[in-house]
Each structure stands twice: as C-alpha cells, then as structure tokens.
Amino acid sequence: MNAANAATHSWNRRARQRAERLGRAARVLGHQLQGCHVDTGAAVPLLQAILEPGDRVCLEGNNQKQADFLAQSLAQVDAQRVHDLHMVQSVLALPEHLDLFENGIARRLDFSFSGPQGARLAKLVAAGGIEIGAIHTYLELFARYFVDLTPKVALVAAHAADAAGNLYTGPNTEDTPAIVEATAFSGGIVIAQVNERVPVGSTLPRIDIPADWVDFVIQAPRPNLIEPLFTRDPAQISEIQVLMAMMAIKGIYAEYGVQRLNHGIGFDTAAIELLLPTYGESLGLKGKICRHWALNPHPALIPAIEAGWVESIHSFGSELGMEDYIRARSDVFFTGADGSLRSNRAFCQAAGHYACDLFIGSTLQIDLQGNSSTATLGRITGFGGAPNMGADARGRRHASPAWLKAGRQARAGLAGAAGTPRGQKLVVQMVETFREHMQPAFVDRLDAWTLQEQAGMALPPIMIYGEDMTHILTEEGIANLLMCRSDDEREQAIRGVAGYTAVGLGRDARMVENLRDRGVIRRPADLGIDVRDATRNLLAARSMRDLVRASQGLYSPPKRFRNW
C-alpha cells in the first residue's frame, strides 16, 4: 500500500510550485529584477507573477510597522488573475487591508487586531464580503503559522536591505522574524519592502533577517508607515486616574510584590508609570516592585527609568521618538550592536505570558461573572495580545512571591484538583465605572453575546475571561476576585466597585460590607490612601515637555504631541 501510494504521491509539490512561481517572476520582470532586487515600479507585476488564486498570504500589518507599499500594490493586482486569497496577518490597520476584500482579491481572513478598521470590517462581514476564520491573540496566530495557517507568500517591511538581500528592521522588528521563518522554511516566498537600499560593498547597521530567507526586495517610494500607538500625553491624565494609579501601586503592586509585569495601553497605566518615582518612592517601593518589564518603550516610563526603577524592558515593537533615548539607555532596553532597539513580538508575548507576574489593562465592558471585552456592537476589533497576557499561564512552573500569593488566595479552603497548590498570574482590569459619554463599564450582558449572533461566531468575543481575571480596580476601590468563594460573592464583589452604574446600584449592601470586612473589597481609605492626595502634582511628568526634559532631551515626540 505504502509503495503504491508513494508511487502515485508527489512529495516535492512545494518545491516545484516555488520554482514555477520564481520562474514566472523572472520572465515577467526581466531586467527589472537584479539579484533579489525588484524595481519599485514592478511591484504589481511581481505580485501578479508570484500569487495564485486561493494562496494563503501574510501581509505584514503590525501594531506599529506597516508594509503599506506592498499593501497598496496588492490592492492593485488584477482580481481576474489573483483572487480568493486567504489573508493571515496580525493587524488590519490600513484601508488597503480591507480594499483587498472589496476588490475581490481576498476572501478569507485570520487576524488578531483590526483597530481603526473594526467598523468597516463588521460591515464587510455582514455584507458577506469577507469570511473570518478566527480572531487570535498574537502568539496564537504566530503558532498557527507553523501548523495550519502557514503562509505561502509573505509580504513584509524592513528599514533597509543590502545588495545580497539581508534585512535590517531597525527598532521595529515586531512580527517579521516569525512571519519570515514560517514562510521561508515551508517552500513559501518572502517579499520585503524597504525604505533604503545600502550600496553594494557597504554593510547594514545589523542583520535582522538573513538574505537567504528572503526572495525579493523592493525599495518603497516612501518610508513605511509607523504608528506611535503607545504615547500618552501626561497633560490628559485626570486626578481620578491618579487615584486609581495610587490604588494599583499600594493595593496590588506592593501587596503582592510584583517585580515582572506588562502594562496595557492607556492613560490609566501611564498614570501608574508616572507615579512610580513619586508616590512609589514615598512608599519605599523602589527595587521592590516593577523591576522587569515586557513592554513597548512607553514615554511615560522615562521618569521611572531615569530614577533607576527599571532593570530591563523587552519590547513587542518600538515607539516613535524614543530612538535616541533607547540608544542612550541600552542597559535597560534590548538593543543591537547598532544601538537601536531589537523588538520581537513573538518572544515578548512569550515573556508576557510566562515570565510576568502581572498584566494590567483596561476594557470597555465587564459583566457580573467578571468576563470583560472591548468588543462592541458594529465593530469587529480583536484583542491583540491581551488574551495571551491576561490569561493564567497554566504551564508555568517557576515560582515568585507574587504568583504564589495569588495562587494561595485562589485555592485557600478548596479541596480536590482545584485545591492542589499552584501559583496564579495576576490579571487586573483597571476601569472607571463610567467611560466617555456616560457609558457604564459594568453591564449585565456583554455586547459580545450579540456580536456572536450577528457574526455567527462559535463563541462570544470575550477578551479576558472572569476565570482568569483576579482584580478589578475602579475609582471606588479594588475587588479581589481570587478571594471570592461563590458566584454570589464574585457578583457582589464586582457590584461593590461598580459605583453608580446600574450594576453598582444593584449591590447587596450588607454582603458588600461583609466582603469589605474580609478584604475582598478595599476602598482607598482601607488602603490608607487619602483621596485628597490624589492630585496631578504626584505625576513625575505633567506634560510631553516634562517627558522630554526627564529624558535629558533624548526623547523627541512626534509632531502631533508637541504643543509648544
């Protein structure tokens, strides 16, 4: 049987197809192809020569860096020749990413985050113009690149290439190594757009991707787009956020002795970063908390770094304007021989999952079970890295005081499998009880349930499950879900910090006071925090200008953040 089968079965289809595609490209491009370098004007013909209907394609869309020129070029191919593509990319950020579907070039999508395109994506799905495979957390999508979502063609972005085709990504390495490895070692084809091509004979500042993993390099007519997603102007931090940050530092970070952590994006976490060298210092916490970070180079962390709080930061991607500061603080950041950041989303997500004791982020809705989601009606956005970092890492086996204490609290008094001693990841959601337009952050039912029906998803798009969430922090206080021993207690603990929302008003006052007596709920007063101390004066920097000053002039904010 085997012999017969082997006789009829071809085992080098991938290699043959690859050779055919490369042959077509060589024929079509002619003198527009020199070595691996393709003339800028030949991008569309190259894609038409390489791609076949139904191909699985990874168009590099990162949280920051975008292969925008290749995206625009792909949107221009002849849909008669190239169609039904299956796009597998972490972030859907550009209009062109969706044009592909409207133009009939692509049909199916597997992704992690759609950000600004969330509303348009939802409309396209509703209109049947796009078929969504699944929404992943980043590391989960990268993992599938090596199992059942391996790209046939990868379209990536780098800063520069040399004559041989070695790539220099600069600070924004991000997803590129994971994408290229999965594609190049499975008989796929890798096409890179670059901002610069260094002349023959001269070398790159460093090599991030070896030339023999890359098939074609195209110099883009303009530098690839990069978004400064993680920059927050301290001027916009409210005193409520200062109060919440004080509670986070004293009630959670100090309480558990959190040394290794990740912060989600936002003003809430920026406030924490800006309070470390002031409020944190006054509590004598320097060296006791927040020493190691899995974090992009947040400008708001500059004062804490300058004050010597931070020993190491590994980053998913970089942040515009932080280049010189990172270069001058190479003891803290992961940098290459060229002095610029080496980011790597795959490794940083692994670090966030397995090497951090705490993840703290924000959400739009939390229900009575503690399930939280940023998914709202009419938008399909995805959650990026939150599910990976906001999940208990059940495979973790190394201990730390923070992790052990959380585990003890979760298991105290339990028997059987649930009572077996084990540590637990601290997963905190930090929200004001009402968000903009007086939308309550606490709801009886997540919009995710309606979204599931609308989009026909197998499960509701929940960002972080109540089972994994350990603390909810609002301006009213901290609810420690680890210490709740029943669904009722959990519900009342949540209502007990939900303020004047309908959920909060629905609390059982006696039960809530009882939970407070047990320390399950803690108000600012219970933490010895005087609400009157929560002023903006506590912020180590109160403006972008302060951040620049704190950086010794090394941080250079993007124009839009300069108000002087």
Binding to a copy of itself (CB under 8 A) within 146-165 occurs at: 146-148, 150
- 458 near a copy of itself, rule: CB under 8 A: yes
Taking the least distance from each CB to a copy of itself, the nearer of 1 and 438 is: 1
Pick out residues in 371-410 that bind a copy of itself (CB under 8 A). Answer: 371, 383, 387-399, 404
Show contacts with a copy of itself in window 504-543 (CB under 8 A): 540
Interaction of residue 187 with a copy of itself, rule CB under 8 A: yes
Q: Which is nearer to a copy of itself, 39 or 306 (CB)?
A: 306
140: contact with a copy of itself by CB under 8 A: yes
DSSP classification of residue 382: B
Q: Tokens representing 30? A: 């002619």
The first and second tokens of residue 393, run together, are 């890492």
Window of 30-38, 54-62, 67-75, 333-341 that interacts with a copy of itself by CB under 8 A:
333-341
Using rule CB under 8 A, residue 413 touches a copy of itself: no
In whole angstroms, give the CA distance from residue 423 to residue 415: 16
Positive or negative CA dihedral for 251, 254, 255, 260?
positive
> How many Cα atoms within 13 Å fall on the side-chain side of residue 307?
24
**Stretch binding a copy of itself (CB under 8 A), from 31-39, 92-100, 192-200, 464-472:** 464-472
| Closest separation in Å from C-beta 79 to a copy of itself | 28
Instruction: Name the E strands within 386-488.
Output: 426-430, 434-435, 439-440, 471-474, 477-480
Site string for a copy of itself, 286-315 (x = CB under 8 A): -----xx-x--------x--xxx---x-x-
Q: How far apart are CA 182 and CA 244, in angstroms?
A: 42
When asked if residue 135 is in the footprint of a copy of itself (CB under 8 A), the reply is yes
Question: How far is 266 from 274, CA to CA, in rounded Å?
Answer: 12
> Contact 425/406 with Cβ under 8 angstroms?
yes
Instruction: Compare residues 487 and 513 and give the one whose CB is closer to a copy of itself.
Output: 487
Rounded Cα distance, 424 and 409, in Å: 9
Please give the residues from 211 up to 250 whose contact with a copy of itself meets the rule CB under 8 A: 211-213
CB 44 → a copy of itself: shortest distance, Å?
Answer: 26
Coil vs helix vs strand at 241: helix
- Of 23, 210, 221, 553, the residue at the interface with a copy of itself (CB under 8 A) is 210
* Binding to a copy of itself in span 1-30, by CB under 8 A: 1-3, 5-6, 9-15
Give the one residue of 332, 364, 375, 406 binding a copy of itself; rule: CB under 8 A.
Answer: 332
* Whole-angstrom distance, CA of residue 49 vs CA of residue 520: 63
Residue in 422, 495, 507, 522 binding a copy of itself, rule: CB under 8 A: 422
Q: Residues binding a copy of itself: what is the number (CB under 8 A)?
A: 117
Among 154, 428, 539, 550, binds a copy of itself (CB under 8 A): 550
Q: Is 465 in the site for a copy of itself (CB under 8 A)?
A: yes
Which span sits near a copy of itself by CB under 8 A: 100-108, 349-357, 509-517, 523-531? 349-357
Between residues 47 and 184, which has the closer beta carbon with respect to a copy of itself? 184
Contact yes or no for 519/489 (Cβ under 8 A): no
Residues in CB range of 405: below 8 A, 6 or more apart: 256, 257
d(CA 257, CA 260): 9
Helix (H) or strand (E) holding 246: helix 239-247
Span interacting with a copy of itself, options 52-60, 65-73, 208-216, 510-518, rule CB under 8 A: 208-216
Find the helix or strand (DSSP H, E) in which 26 lies.
helix 13-29
Least separation in angstroms between residue 88's CB and a copy of itself is 11
Comparing C-alpha atoms, which of 116, 123, 188, 115 is closest to residue 150? 188
Q: Which amino acid is at 354?
A: Y
Among 300, 226, 294, 216, CA closest to 65 = 226
| Closest distance of CB 531 from a copy of itself, Å | 26
Quote the CA–CA distance of 506 and 513 in Å, as a whole number: 14
Q: How far is residue 113's CA from residue 339's CA, in Å, rounded to a whole number?
A: 30
What one-character DSSP code corresponds to residue 514? H
Among 170, 235, 244, which residue's Cα sits nearest to residue 208? 170
**Residue 289 DSSP class:** B
Please give the residues from 28 up to 87 whose contact with a copy of itself meets the rule CB under 8 A.
none
The answer to the question of residue 143 lying near a copy of itself (CB under 8 A) is: yes
CB of residue 427 vs a copy of itself: minimum separation in angstroms? Answer: 10
Residue 459 binding a copy of itself, by CB under 8 A: yes
Question: What's the min distance (Å) between Cβ of 143 and a copy of itself?
Answer: 4
**In terms of CB distance, is 17 or 76 closer to a copy of itself?**
17
Stretch that binds a copy of itself, among 36-44, 228-236, 242-250, 331-339 (CB under 8 A): 331-339
CB of 75 to a copy of itself, least distance (A): 26
